[in-house]
Structure 1
Amino acid sequence: MISQFNFPTIIRFGAGVIKELPAYLIKNGFKKPLIATDPNVFELPFFKAIIADLQQAGFEPEIFYDIHKNPVKSDVYKGGDAYDNANCDCIIGIGGGAGLDVARAIALRINHREDLFKYDDLIGGDVYITNDVPVLITIPTTAGTGSEVGRSAIISDDETHQKKILFSPKLLAAIVFADPMLTMELPAFITAATGMDALTHNMEAFLAKNYHPICDGIALEGIKLISESLEKATNNPDIESRSKMLLGSMMGAIAFQKGLGVVHSLAHPLSTLLDTHHGLANAVNIPYGMRFNIEGNEEKFKRIAQTLELKEHTGEAVVQYLFDLNTKINIPHKLSEIGVKIEHIETLADLALADFAHPNNPKPVSREDFKKLYLEAL
């Protein structure tokens, strides 16, 4: 069944909904879309089928896929040049977080031509996002970042790999085509890692110190949907589990406008220093970060445990659930299993302390705390 709901972006959701894309472009008068994706998605059969459908409808889309798995500024500049050179009139982002972040950043770049990082939200750069942006259409192919419903893009500096946030309500997609069929052939590892990313978004958003009861409710429902579906989606996927994961992922991205926390600040430096997959970095770190947050937040952990339908409604029960879930979906329990070495710890702690996520954590996190957490997880 195909459904439509708005929050605030129009979301077309359901198996086969991707077939509506050509008609949407025609109805809205678009002639030349730029399709931004990543090199892996570019090679997949479903992507080729999307392009074939567009071509059959009379479109000759410009395809841009020269991006890094952790996108950098030069990726965005090259994408903007591709848009200009082909005289494109809209942007379609297809993929996981990398493809969708680059698509959104290209949309910003088209009519905002100063240095991209002038618009970094962490230094108040959102005030310079004053011009219109091209229409952005997003099509998720993983259930992880939820970038399809977001209004921000995380792009790294080419040299330092420091992450910057481009943020503005102008960067919301005009419409999302969320088709769980596009996620059916995801490898088990990607399903597991991106799924744990989505779970981390929901849990950290619920715990974040900012007051936003609407996000709290969305986050709890996201946790519920993911807990019901991630193991099956990873090990024996069907359309129901893939659909629940896609919904839970979107809920996480909506909820984390409230903020994130310590887990993301532990994870981001792994991508910066070691180019670790973001979802995997969150997955390994989340039990340790959640344990750190229990003290002083017992009531919130009780709510999470109730949502997970655990026998004991405690923070430790939630932490054990996370370790057990990682085991079931073949996620390592230790950072040493994903390439982290003892000599990385000091640099990782410095990067984590400088990260943008932990100021919204429900309790303060010092450099010494980060170092202890990394050593505990090592």
Structure 2
Amino acid sequence: MTFDKVYQYNFPTTIRFGAGSVKELSNYLKNNDLHKPLIVTDSLIVQLPFFKEIVDDLQKHNISVEVFCDTHKNPVKSDVYKGVDVWDNTNRDSIIGIGGGAALDIARAIALRVNHREDLFKYDDLIGGDIFVTNEVPHFITIPTTSGTGSEVGRSAIIADDETHQKRILFSPKLMAKIVFADPLLTMDLPPFVTAATGMDALTHNMEAFLAKNPHPICDGIALEGISLIKDSLEKATNNPDLESRSKMMIASMMGAIAFQKGLGVVHSLAHPLSSLLDTHHGLANAVNIPYGIAFNIEGFEYKFRRISRALDLKEETGVAVVNYLFELNSKINIPHKLSDIGVREEHIETLADMAIADFAHPNNPKPVTRDDFKSLYLKAL
């Protein structure tokens, strides 16, 4: 496989992958009789040269562009409502999400709300709200700019309550993008920290999906290959990026998102409260917690860790070797080993443990996790 060509994949949706694939966007819109997209992104991306090039190209093809970027780092309900107000007031015909997980989650939630106007959290999948997603959604396109969440190929959006910061999941097959333009060139100028944190998010998705208790051999195979690709590319993509390493990370990120339809686990339930309580970058929260959460799962699942260690090409095929690899990788990409290094203090632990036990991810962990377990893991990581 070479990395200077555009390939098409159809799993689970149509993916135009490769350097320069985003240049196909204007023709795609015109061929689908779409002329007034709402672009949903964030306040940093709108300032970047590649974003301006995308908008300029659309305008050259007589496509009217409206940009919404008034959003939070960790998405909240009011972000979605403001975006829908822009949709209503500007007569749009499609939605394009451009960015990392936060921007794509907000874009997907806006797509849901356009034709579903009851309280947004009525559609929370955790309370069975997916059955109320009955109307059509606007034509929805995703363009990832990081290699982490893989949200571009997903069917759900995680949105928090503005006041309580509780995270809700909006889910429906209707929310899958019609097409993804996955162009690794858009990630070439990401700073090392963002590359490292989002890359560890992708690794967490793949590892937790493989370990998740629900049987799904297809996802297991995808997750193991995703782990292998990240092993080959994350350190280089962070410290000395080239097209190959960036391309492998983008593929691995999408693979993680496909695989975790099987479920996630303890690491994500450790990480989500950090974003809610302390506004910690989600990828960073996963990156610091993953060695501790993965270690928790070794006993009783040694056979799974043998397969992970093979995917990582480790000399010792043990869970301890996998955990040591994770600490070493974090060091190589300048991720701290301790929660205290990212603003967590002992006074936060009780609240974090309460939030973690209430989180939606750990019920799919291969072994049960109690509140005391979460408290103990936080203290080990502190």
CA shift digits 1:144-173 (9 cap, x unpaired): 000000000000000011000000000000
* Structure 2 match to 1:303: 307
Q: Percent identity?
A: 77
SS in 2 for 1:39: coil
TM-fit CA distance, 1:8: 2.2
Give SS of 2:81's match: helix
Letter in 2 for 1:106: I
- CA-CA distance at 1:84 after TM superposition: 1.3
Counterpart contact for 2:203–2:256, Cα < 8 Å: yes
> In the alignment, does 2:91 pair up with 1:93?
no
Distance 2:288 2:238 in 1: 16
Q: 1:276: which partner in 2?
A: 280
1:16-36 superposed Cα distances (whole Å, 9 cap, x missing partner): 011000000000000100000
Q: Are positions 1:346 and 2:341 aligned together? A: no
Residue 267 of structure 2, aligned match among 258, 263, 267: 263
Please say if 1:376 is aligned against 2:348: no
Aligned partner (choices 184, 205, 217) of residue 201 of structure 1: 205
Name the CA distance, whole Å, in 2 between partners of 1:324 and 1:83.
46
Aligned equivalents of 1:16, 1:224: Cα separation in 2: 25
- Between the aligned partners of 2:309 and 2:46, the Cα distance in structure 1 is 40
Question: What letter corresponds to residue 51 of structure 1 in structure 2?
Answer: V
Decide whether the 8 Å contact of 2:99 with 2:146 is kept in 1.
yes
Give the alignment of 1:1-378 within 5 angstroms.
Answer: 1-378=5-382
> What is the identity, as a one-letter code, of the residue corresponding to 1:84?
D
Q: Which runs of 5+ in 2 are unaligned?
A: none
Q: Deviations over 1:60-109 (max 9, x none)?
A: 21100000000000100110111111110000000000110000000000
Q: Please give the root-mean-square deviation of Cα atoms over the aligned residues, in Å.
A: 0.4
Q: Distance in 2 between matches of 1:81 and 1:219?
A: 39
Query: TM-score if structure 1 supplies the norm length?
Result: 1.00
Letter in 2 for 1:365: V
In the aligned structure 1, how far is the partner of 2:63 from the partner of 2:33?
A: 12
**Gapped regions of structure 1 (runs ≥ 5):** none
Q: How far, CA to CA, are the matches of 2:184 and 2:326 in structure 1?
A: 25
Segment drifting more, 215-224 vs 53-62: 53-62
For 2:162, the aligned partner's letter is D
Letter in 1 for 2:174: K
2: CA distance, partners of 1:295 / 1:42:
47
SS of the aligned residue for 2:44 comes to helix
Alignment length (residue pairs): 378
Is the contact between residue 124 and residue 169 of structure 2 (CA under 8 Å) also seen in structure 1? yes
Which stretches of structure 1, 4 residues or more, deviate above 3 A after TM superposition? Answer: none
Distance 2:50 2:159 in 1: 26
1:195, distance to aligned residue in structure 2 (A): 0.1
